Structure 1
Amino acid sequence: MPIVAFGDIGKAAKGLLGGDKATGTFQFDPKLSVSSTTSSGVAFTATATQKGETVAATLKAAYSTKKYSVDAAVDPSGKVTASASISELAPGVKLSSSAVVPDISTAKLTLDYVMPYAAAKATFGLTATPVVDLSASTGYQAFVLGAETSYDTAKSAVTKYNFALGYHAADFQFAALLSDQLKTLKLSYMHSLTSTSTVGAEVSRKLASGDTAFTLAYARKLTNGALTKFKLDGSGLLSALYETKLATGEKVTGSLQLQATELSKPAKYGFAVDLA
């Protein structure tokens, strides 16, 4: 089993609670996405999201092979985010870069190195005084241990350090993350009860103040292929999702959010349509 990178420790639980392709993403603003791929393999995705009285549109183009990938996205303000990567530059080495045009100071270079029993990642800002992000992980069988840190050369100071411990099995994940310069402890959990149902939870505690927050989630695939998901947090905020794929190929997602402890408050709702 390949070593899990630091950023992927507890990934399945993060996806269930925060949204991913496998378990759906809550969408509380009307959203329309149109995707297509040219004969040369370039994939285009146009997305329009309505926020209040305005509509924000983005356009993304991506091209990838087994070794190379290039993509660019234009946001509503006209900024272009571009990235490129080369895999297997050397055994286990991947090199990638990204930048937001016209703000060239955002340019970054990232080096990923995967070994049989360890994974490491280094990101350097391409400026005279860069921020350097470093992370590493190692493990044995289903257990993984990792750490990450950031060093700001302009301040000559370490600005971030986090530690994580995880257990990744085929149908079960657990992760403990000590973050915010050791001030916050997060425990997350995901369990595939059956081939169609998944549960998850996260508990976050500020160690200094003792403030604690929690989130629970449940996702289930129905017999007709549709996906449902429910999420409840400690404040009583309940979110529900229904996602299905029509016979003509379009994916439709509807979301609803309400305050379960105070039903008199107006509910939020939204939908997303993906045309492939």
Structure 2
Amino acid sequence: MSSTTLNSKVPSLSKAQAVPPSWKDLGKLANDTLTKDIPVHGSTLEVKTKAPNGVQFRVLGARDAKSGNINGDLEIKLADKKRGLTLTQSWLTSNVLRNHVELENQIATGLKLELISTLIPEKQSKNAMFAASYKMPGLHTRSHIDLFKGPTVTADAVVGRDGFLLGSEASYDVRDGKVQRYNLAAGFSAPEYAVTLHGLGNLSTYSASYYHRVNSDIETSARATYDSKAPASNVNLEVGTKTYLDNAAFVKAKINNAGILCLGYTQALRPGVKASLGLALDTVKLSDAGGANAHKAGFSLVFEA
């Protein structure tokens, strides 16, 4: 990571998107502004390296501030770009083995096939999922089938034209012969802003998010969520901003209607080294004697070579 990497990550929006984002990436710009690079729930250390033959290694260690538990993840990734084949294997400290095989743009342009399997030797528990995604101008669709649970088929699709986006997702239980869940979304993206509306949980929860790139140094986002099944049917609101101090550092701040203020600072220390600090303050309890227990702090450190 060079000293200019942080500022070069400012997203570029396009009114006429050749390929729409996938379902999971609808509203991603607002979500990243409000959630990424504010590590308040613990501490993480991530190391990424790449061997001369192209094999990639990733080691992730995370300590949860609430429970004090430390979890780790060792990942190895092998890619054959000529054949469009990628194999990722990971081993978690919880003794979970995971394999992920990807085949892209071989059978047809824009088609990606995936096979994901997990194994817990201690419990003799296993699971496998087959996924397929296809993207082309104006359309991005995905589907996957959980082979051991149900089996359950989940599919989603997003269509886009002139900046307008419309998406849906549904999950179907083959054994019971019924739809388990369905969700809808709509959005619009322009060169400097994006708006996304979600109807989730069988249209029981509604969310509206907004992203605005004010200029090359400042981004802002807001999100409102309404859960019709919640005991108190209130609208939860959070608003945040991201400001670049220079090409190697930025600060983030967000606050919600519960009075939780989160602050984040990210600095590229040197090429390949990035550090982030996060702090969450319960502004309602700042004057309380036991208010310190409601505050949280954390950090993350990333090495990449």
TM-score by length of 1: 0.91
Percent identity over paired residues? 23
| Aligned counterparts, 1:246-257, within 5 A | 246-247=269-270, 249-257=272-280
Aligned residues: 272
* Equivalent pair of 2:89/2:98 in contact (CA under 8 Å): yes
The change in CA–CA distance for 1:106 and 1:171 in structure 2 (over 3 A counts) is farther
Distance between the aligned counterparts of 1:8 and 1:172, measured in 2?
A: 15
The counterpart of 2:73, out of the listed 40, 43, 58, is 58
Q: Which has the higher contact order (CA 8 A, sep 6+)?
A: 2
User: Equivalent residue for 1:130?
Assistant: 151
SS of alignment partner, residue 90 of structure 1: coil
Relative distance call for 1:244 and 1:212 in structure 2 (3 A) is: same
Q: Pairwise CA RMSD of aligned residues?
A: 1.9
Name the counterpart of 2:7: none
Return closer, same or farther for 1:133/1:61 CA change in 2, 3 Å cut-off: same
Match of residue 98 from structure 2? 81
Deviation at 1:248, TM superposition (A): 6.1
Aligned to 2:184: 163
Check if 1:46 corresponds to 2:74.
Answer: no
Partners in 1 of 2:271 and 2:129 — Cα distance?
A: 41
- Provide, for residues 139-185 of structure 1, a one-character-per-residue CA deviation record: whole Å limited to 9, x for no partner: 21100101110001232211110000011223211100011111111
- Per the normalisation by structure 2, the TM-score is 0.83
Runs (5+) with no aligned partner, structure 2: 1-17
Equivalent-residue separation in structure 2 for 1:6 and 1:32 (angstroms): 29
The whole-number CA distance in structure 2 between the counterparts of 1:172 and 1:96 is 33
Q: 1:153 to 1:234 in 2, by over 3 A?
A: same
Report the Cα distance in structure 2 between the residues aligned to 1:135 and 1:14, rounded to whole angstroms: 19
Q: Note the C-alpha offset of 1:246.
A: 1.2
Structure 1 equivalent of residue 44 of structure 2: 31
The one-letter amino acid of 1:95's match is L
For 1:275, give the aligned amino acid: F
Q: Which residue of 2 is the match for residue 268 of structure 1?
A: 296
Task: In structure 1, list runs of 5 or more residues that go unmatched.
Answer: none
Distance verdict in 2 for CA 1:31–1:127, change over 3 Å: closer
Partner Cα distance (2:47, 2:162) in 1: 41
CA distance in 2, matches of 1:214, 1:106: 37
- In 1: Cα distance, 2:41 partner to 2:60 partner: 15
